Amino acid sequence: MVTWRLLNDATELADWDERLRGFADHSIYQTLAWGEHRRALGWTPYRWAAFDGATVTAMAQGLLRRYPGGAGVIWLPGGPVGDVNAWNNGLQQIIRRSSGLHFLYCRFNSFRARSDAEQTLLRQNNWRQPRVPLTSGASLLYDVARPEAERIATCSKNWRHNLKRSHKGSFTVAPWEKPDATEMRAVYAEMEGLKRLPPQHSETNLRALYAHAGDRLITYACRDAAGTLLGFRACATAGDKAWDLLAATATAGRKSYASYATFWALTQECHRRGIRQYDLSGVDADGNRGVYDFKQGTGAAPVEYLGEWQWASPRLFALPANWLIGRRRNGI
């Protein structure tokens, strides 16, 4: 019989990340470091594990945000992981008991490949797909383990052409050992203004990210001869996987195709470190065509994830929760 337990003792959590990497669907977003990063931004991380005797069959890290009146939201990015059969009423009840909330809305976003059988199982366990999803559920997986020549050959003709153009730019791409959040935010702001995008990452978020998960990140910066930041890209790593995490290019960098040179340098470093799979962290061909074309042009393979599922107690609490999520997503 599988039993879920809340783990909050330092001794119990000591091997959390090691156990996590034992599951094929693990992600950076379920690591202890990511939970502490989000704690710094006002969320409370909870870690649960499903035990079949002494064997852990599934794991889940949830991030709780409390609201007045005994209400709250728990978000499980990149999880749960492990045996989907264990993502059942037992998980829902341990989440409810751990939070102590009277009104609870819970949503997870799984990075398992989509499966009709597993979707059916989730519905049988009272999980439902949300009316207002936060992601498309689709991504692209870049095989970074291949030799450089092979990876170049699988890029689109236009992508290879732009990479060659970037070699003519008068800039330098190098590891950014101590990223400056203020400098990053300035490039994001310029890019957001150019593309009319909502704010991507606040300076506070960037500082918290590097303070708590910096040792999991690989960051490369592109600078002109005067040292001005033209663009940057960062990925998060766990085991032999990496996830595209941060990317921004200033107007001057766009003119010199800096994003192509920066992506290539970063993925070359991943190759050197033994990373095998680089998740390009979501694509939306309709909502963000430019980013989609850039990512697809790398030759990465499309994947559709199991994605987002929700549960609420009481069940009708999902209605106002989705309404609020929709307003915030649309900047209202």
Q: What whole-number percentage of the chain has pLDDT above 70?
A: 98
State the pLDDT at residue 52: 95
pLDDT confidence of residue 332:
41
Q: How many CB atoms lie within 10 A of CB 303?
A: 17
Q: What is the DSSP letter of 128?
A: B
Instruction: Give the span between the Cα atoms of 272 and 228, in whole angstroms.
Output: 27
Q: Which long-range contacts does 293-299 make (Cβ < 8 Å, 24+ apart)? A: 294/159, 294/259, 295/140, 296/140, 296/156, 297/155, 297/156, 297/158, 297/159, 298/140, 298/142, 298/151, 298/155, 298/159, 298/263, 299/142, 299/151, 299/154, 299/155, 299/156, 299/159
**What's the mean pLDDT when you consider all of the chain?**
94
Mean pLDDT of 179-200: 92
Q: Tell me the backbone φ, ψ of residue 4, rounded to 5 degrees.
A: -85, 140
Could you report the per-residue pLDDT of 75-84, keeping only the tens digit for each? Answer: 999 999 999 9
SS3 assignment, position 45: strand
**Cα-trace Rg, the chain:** 21
pLDDT digits (tens, 9 = 90+) for 274-332: 999 999 988 777 777 888 899 999 999 999 999 999 999 999 999 999 998 887 765 44
Domains, the chain: 2-137+305-329 (3.40.630.30), 145-275 (3.40.630.30)
The whole-number average pLDDT for the span 265-271 is 98
With 0-12 CB in 10 A as exposed, 13-18 as middle and 19+ as buried, what is 152?
middle
For the stretch 114-136, what's the b/e string if a residue is b when 16 or more beta carbons lie within 10 angstroms of its beta carbon? eeeebbeebeebebeebebbbeb
- Contact by Cβ (8 Å): 211, 203: no
